[in-house]
Copies of this chain bind each other. A is one copy, B any other.
């Protein structure tokens, strides 16, 4: 099939609009005071190492924490932060190094209806600006889809 030049240009023009949609996931102001869900280390050899390797801690805003505790059903307005650091493995201990990224999932069933209500963003901690394009957000969700039965969220609230 030949693609008419006009259609191709229209598709190109549409791309920035999609990217703008993705950047609608904002910097999660004040997340360090949100409840801490859990922490984990992802090492070399893990399928997600290239994307999120290091030591991370997960935080949820009050709506997200309610969602975790009530069987992983997240209301609009839920925000989950994946705070990612270099893992410094030294002297038989693994510590947090420099912050690599602040990764955010935000629930808005209207704004992000194409990805089952979840928006994704990878934020540069220095500039506090998103670095994920529309395709990246779709890729995030493709992986999260394996957790469909738990509202697309991998992490779980640990027993208190």
Contact = CB atoms under 8 A, between A and B. Distances in A.
A15 to B, nearest CB: 33
A24 B44 CA distance: 44
Q: Is the interface of A mostly helix, strand, loop or mixed?
A: strand
Interface residues of A, number: 28
A110 interface: no
Interface string A145-160: 0000000000000111
Nearest to A44: B92
A94 interface: yes
Given A57-B57, A99-B159, A159-B99, A94 B36 contact: no
Closest 10 CB pairs of A and B: A36-B36, A39-B39, A45-B92, A46-B92, A41-B94, A43-B92, A42-B93, A40-B95, A46-B93, A39-B57
